[in-house]
Chain A
């Protein structure tokens, strides 16, 4: 038997190996060209950002003349008010992600671990909600927030507009759908015996959720958490719609105003863009695996 079956995989392996090796030169050339093209826009921003405006004016943008330093970054940071914008981003992103994961995990637990007449209906509603273009909801949400009168001690606009809460609430509502979908699939894959055993011990629903299921979902929660931090940090639209005072905008939306603020100083604009890239790049380098896992979790089931 073994003498008969062994040669076949061996020969195919060597044939495939030779083909692959021959093809790999072309592949490498193609991939290298693509990779260089992919990096050019980022590299160009960094290159421009590192050169003082005086030098680019003197030698031209397409030259290596003059000095390279971080002056533009320092100037962009102070002149653009980045510390304020980053703080705003944190104030919006952290509560949104925590609330999204909390609500989504409760919902996912209820639809995946407990029999419920409408659980599929609810899950469909949540998933569909996440897929809608945000612009569809823009006008009613704006008007709802505008006409909700609040005491001035709570909000200086007298309504929900121009508050972080408006952005946090809508970001949360919009992201719950996706997280519920992913987490419910994850929870369905956990053995039913787990909660059965807890049930025998007299554990209520909340303990089953909080002490048993949720700790087991830690990998999914970590992946989704990373993904949601990036999603919400990158959200441009909701702050643009709800927040009118420039000094309350998060970074991603604030860069819209930098173009006007820095006028025709492309070196400063490039520095500002590079500063905005840095947090995402750090998260990417540290949590790359989590991020990719989060993205693919949503698509593994179709």
Chain B
């Protein structure tokens, strides 16, 4: 067992990693550096000006509309403000955070829902996408048609997915209650309205999209796996399951990292679907929706909204930093 399993794992890892570094930094790093030093000297003053504009414009946009607001969010989370006059901004210390954690009823349900959302995507949607990709990667008839079907929801906005599933889940006119035989009876469930089940119903709708997304990324990943690895594993007597888990899956490491990051980020960004159902209330509380509830409408509480935004920011920084280290770690060392 162990010998057959380990043998293919060794040749797999080498081409995988060597191939990757070749394609990214390794080969070009050497070539580029020699040219670089030559080129720098040949940059004219005009070239430098052009370059400064080429870098400066996008950087300015990015700083002004992404990073400055991020800093402001952090700053506002330590203040009390109704959003009207800039003079009314009053320092509040950590009051907003204390209020959110101790006295704001939807906060902990929202945290739980976000975790549940992540676990659901990670344990059901993502593996389902992987399974579909593996099945469709075989040479089976109609693979392209299946792919198109599973991929269609990825093209749709989550807001629209909310509406489409609303029609499917509706208590009186939805298909699901009819299929379950409860339509028109008192047992009929209002899938998006009942606070006991609506988070599950929303996660199923989100899975509809997420699984297709994961499938398409893994299909590309599987095509990138060197076919000789599978042959080597087959010759060594590994069965299909062993070949997949010990050879093919580890060889897709770059894709796996992207999928992990996408799954975490998507679960933190989940917003549109719950907002379109009921603005993220009554069983569908999510941190992202609570942020918006505190910012728009009557009685704006910018400080509280911002402290929720900062909590969301801190949690999202975990997968973001993980991804950046994985992606740029090698390059900055090279």
Residues of A bordering B, CB below 8 Å:
8-9, 12, 15-16, 19-20, 23-24, 27-28, 30-31, 34-35, 38-42, 44-45, 48, 56, 61-62, 103-104, 106-107, 109-111, 114-116, 120, 122-129, 131-144, 146-147, 169-170, 172-174, 176-177, 180, 185, 188-189, 192, 196, 199, 204-206, 209, 230, 233-237, 240-241, 252-253, 255-256, 258-259, 266, 269-270, 272-273, 276-277, 280-281, 283-284, 288, 291-292, 295-296, 298-302
Contact = CB atoms under 8 A, between A and B. Distances in A.
B42 A139 contact: no
A256 B146 CA distance: 31
Contacts of B302: 139, 143
B292 A138 contact: yes
A114 B50 CA distance: 12
30 contacts: A12-B235, A16-B234, A20-B138, A27-B138, A62-B178, A110-B54, A110-B55, A114-B51, A115-B40, A127-B328, A129-B67, A133-B271, A133-B316, A135-B291, A139-B295, A142-B295, A144-B69, A146-B83, A169-B61, A169-B65, A173-B65, A185-B24, A192-B31, A241-B292, A255-B276, A266-B173, A299-B217, A300-B255, A302-B255, A302-B256
B138 A128 contact: no
Contacts of B40: 115
A132 B288 CA distance: 12
A34 B142 CA distance: 14
B69 to A, nearest CB: 4
Interface of B: 20, 23-24, 28, 31-32, 35-37, 39-40, 42-44, 46-47, 50-51, 54-55, 57-59, 61-62, 64-70, 72-73, 76, 83, 86, 132, 135-136, 138-142, 145-146, 148-160, 163-168, 170, 172-175, 178, 183, 208, 213, 216-217, 220-221, 224, 231, 234-235, 240, 253-259, 261, 265, 268-269, 271-272, 275-276, 287-288, 291-292, 295-296, 302, 305-306, 309-310, 312-313, 316, 319-320, 323-324, 326-328, 331-332
Q: Across chains A and B, which 4 residue pairs bring their CB atoms closest together, nearest first? A: A302-B254, A140-B72, A234-B157, A173-B65
Given A199-B39, A266-B170, A296-B217, A137 B69 contact: yes
A182 to B, nearest CB: 12
B61 A103 contact: yes
A284 B152 contact: yes
Contacts of B39: 114-115, 199
A300 B305 CA distance: 37
Contacts of B170: 266
Given A138-B295, A302-B254, A115 B175 contact: no
Nearest to B86: A147
Nearest to B81: A143
Contact of A173 (B61, B136, B165): B61
A6 B320 CA distance: 49
Contacts, number: 323
A270 B165 CA distance: 10
Contacts of A256: 159, 275-276
Given A192-B32, A196-B35, A269-B163, 13 more contacts: A28-B141, A42-B152, A103-B58, A106-B58, A133-B269, A133-B288, A144-B69, A169-B61, A173-B65, A205-B51, A255-B159, A266-B167, A299-B217
A204 B50 contact: yes
Q: Which of A104, A258, A273 has the most CB of B within 10 A?
A: A273
A8 to B, nearest CB: 7
A34 B258 CA distance: 25
Contacts of B50: 204-206
A137 B168 contact: no
Contacts of B156: 234, 277, 280
